[in-house]
Amino acid sequence: MSEHRTTVAGVAVDTRHWIGGQRVASPRTFTDASPIDGAPIGEISRGTAVEARAAVAAAKAAFPGWAATPRAERARLLHAVADGVEKRTEELANVETVDNGALLRSHRRGVMPRVAHNFRFFADWLLTLEHEDFATRGHTNHVTWDPAGPCVLITPWNAPLMLATWKVAPALAAGNTVVLKPAEWSPLTASLLADIAAEAGLPAGVLNVVQGYGSEVGDALTSHPDVRRISFTGSVPTAQHIAASAAANLTPLSLELGGKSPLLVFADADLDLAVDLAVEQYDNAGQVCLAATRLLVEEAVAEEFTRRFVAKASRLRQGDPREESTDIGPTIHPRQVAKIDGFVRRALAAGARAVIGGHPGEGQYYAPTLLTDVRQDSEIVQEEVFGPVLTLQTFTSEDDAVHLANDTRFGLAATLATGDPERAERVTARLVAGTVWVNCFFVRDLKAPFGGSRHSGIGREGGTWSFDFYCDLKNTVTAPKGWKDHG
């Protein structure tokens, strides 16, 4: 590793911030390590309020020009960014895998193509964004989406580039400028995105990337009076802190937070399908906010469901995420491993039984775990673990199932397995969740609203909902009379 640059999987990555179209170093750094083996992979510039203020100033200076850029030109540049992502898919996939430990095959086949799609989708949606004029007592109402200003986007470590661009793309398409703060545990692909955006021709200051810890740089960003929008994906406690920080300036927030989502399996479901859906919740080592970590199974089929689940889960291969045959990679950080293990140990001490797993592996790997004999009011049922840990409870009726499903402070998602379409309609109507999947999981369309209820978040993004958040909506009312003759 040379000063201000590291090489990861053969890819050179600049470890400095990207502010106003230039690389900016900080006096101090922090170490970024790979979850695969714990080895250090880069010394990253450690931002402070100084870099935060500089990035917001750069975004503010660039905003008038970018906001005035015609829609078609903004869309063209976002498509150029997507082109750059596609050209560097292999590099981005390899760097992301080393940096956050998710499967390389998933990054190649699904995640990085989705990154490019994020830019293309919102670029195209921008060109169709309109509201039909309507009349009020002969007056014409005309609705427009006006760029709001500099946006601070704070993103998590579990899907770094995909979740970052899910925010960056609509914010830029809307005509806003952006300060992106990636998670300190997985900052590298955000730096590569800055390179790609610059190569695509994005004007200086339109996209800025500031790295560092929330307490040192995040607070300075979220409390800045020139910031017009804040979007955050992460934990409830951090969101509460950000909301308090933003309150003084009344800065609008979009918060996508944790979940404790249920998977309801009724006796009339295709059990093989239900088991497949349940085992799929171990994806990304369980580090998925949408994961249905609470398996709620009708009592009549619980024994058979558990038998089939154990048989299928036992075939999962945990190991190096760069290998094609690996199904589950490592946990992001030693602190996260300790957190997961703490949850499991306390659950076992309280009387839970580990059907599989229940312990860490070597290094930063945690064994896929299924816990039974858990109480509804227990910590392991009520709190988000964010690891490969599922619980299994039984129910005897629809009312019982819905009660258990809704009985947490979260409401991000829910999954339902049933062979009865009428039951599916009845149950989904009663579930508290931003997204409900019936006999499927993780099918997502950028046209659909996404977000959570209760403590799982505030607001919805996707399609026009994204522009509603990232813009100031304006209604212009014009009288039918009063025009002077300019003929």
**216 DSSP assignment:** I
Based on the residue annotation, tell me whether 256 is a catalytic residue of this protein: yes
Under 8 Å between Cβ of 277 and 266: no
Catalytic residue, from 91, 96, 256, 298: name it. 256
Terminal Cα-to-Cα distance of the chain (whole angstroms): 70
Task: Name residue, tokens 């109480």.
Answer: 375
Which neighbouring-strand residues pair with 353? 372
CA atoms within 13 A on the CB side of 341: 16
Angstrom distance (rounded) from CA 170 to CA 200 = 17
The token pair at 68 is 């005035």
Three state DSSP letters for 311-346: HHHCCCCECCCCCCCCCECCCCCHHHHHHHHHHHHH
According to DSSP, residue 293 is labeled: -
Here the contacts of 30-35 (C-beta below 8 Å, separation 24 or greater) are 30/184, 30/212, 30/213, 32/99, 32/184, 32/185, 32/186, 32/187, 32/188, 34/98, 34/99, 34/101, 35/100, 35/101, 35/329, 35/330, 35/331, 35/332, 35/333, 35/364
User: Which secondary structure element, helix H or strand E, spans residue 63, and what is its range?
Assistant: helix 49-68
- Cα 214 to Cα 93: distance, rounded to the nearest angstrom: 26
The token pair at 418 is 């049933």
Out of 289, 384, 461, 471, pick the active-site residue.
289
Give the number of residues written for the chain: 487
Closest CA to 81 of 165, 182, 171: 165
- CB of 169 within 8 A of CB of 463? no
The kind and range of the H/E element at 99 are helix 89-100
Dist. CA 32–CA 188, nearest whole Å = 9
Are 103 and 97 in contact by the 8 Å Cβ rule? The answer is yes
| Nearest partner of 252 among 473, 475, 469, judged by Cα | 469
The catalytic residue positions are 256, 289
